[in-house]
Amino acid sequence: MNTPKVIAGGALWTGVAAVFSLIILAGCSALPAAPERPVLYDFGPGLQDPAPAQPQAALPPLALATVDSAGLPEGSTAVHYRLAYADAQQLRPYQAARWSQPPIQLVRQSLQARLGQRRTIIGVAGTLAGARANGQPPAVLRVELEEFSQVFTSAQHSAGLVRLRATLTQPSALGENLLAQRLFIVRQPATRPDAQGGAQALAQATEQVAREVADWLELVGR
């Protein structure tokens, strides 16, 4: 009678198959998970202030140059932070957070939106020569972004720090004549000690800088 042997053999193979199945499942669970896509941040929907009931007089046109950056990696979209209480000289990127565009582009868009409320904003390249305001080329605003990061003074307290240098020049046949220059520094406290809090604080700080630049231009007669 071979029936017991057949049954035993079948049971053995069933057990072996179960063991191999467990091994395969264990191997699959040990595979590295797909990396999470970074969270993208921008400056929000932009200006939403209602138009004034009595519009103010328009200001002279202004040529806004491309924003330069002296303190950020060129083309980088990383959200950066510093640990002022540990190593303030090291600029660190959040691994799971990115800007939707390089910060210099976001800053220029914010400036253009704010300044464009009362004046025509044009680019410099290709349009400056043909643009005229009262018979002369418009003034040129050049901006250099020196710092754009979330600065931690402790593990739980931080602020968005925006520092930029604005230079106003007047084009002439001999080049550009310096009209005025100013350094703007704005710190906006962050509500959270993470990338989300940093992005919000930096967006608010940039909007404040844009308002201050607009006021400064009017103060210098431009």
Report the distance separating Cα 175 and Cα 208, nearest Å.
31
Q: What number of CA atoms fall less than 13 Å from residue 70's CA on the CB side?
A: 9
Instruction: Over range 119-126, report the average pLDDT.
Output: 81
Are residues 168 and 182 in contact, defined by beta-carbon separation less than 8 angstroms?
Answer: no
Instruction: Over range 76-93, report the average pLDDT.
Output: 95
- CATH assignment, 57-219: 3.40.50.10610
- How many beta carbons lie within 10 A of that of residue 46, not counting itself? 11
Q: Model-level pTM?
A: 0.79
pLDDT in tens, 163-200: 999 999 998 877 889 999 999 999 999 999 999 999 99
Report the distance separating Cα 42 and Cα 39, nearest Å.
10
- Residue 51, SS3 per DSSP: coil
Q: Which backbone phi and psi does 178 adopt, to 5 degrees? A: -70, 125
Instruction: Over range 208-222, report the average pLDDT.
Output: 93
pLDDT in tens, 32-51: 665 678 999 999 987 656 55
Q: What integer pLDDT is reported at residue 84 of this predicted model?
A: 96
Place of tokens 């998970």: 33
Report the distance separating Cα 71 and Cα 63, nearest Å.
24
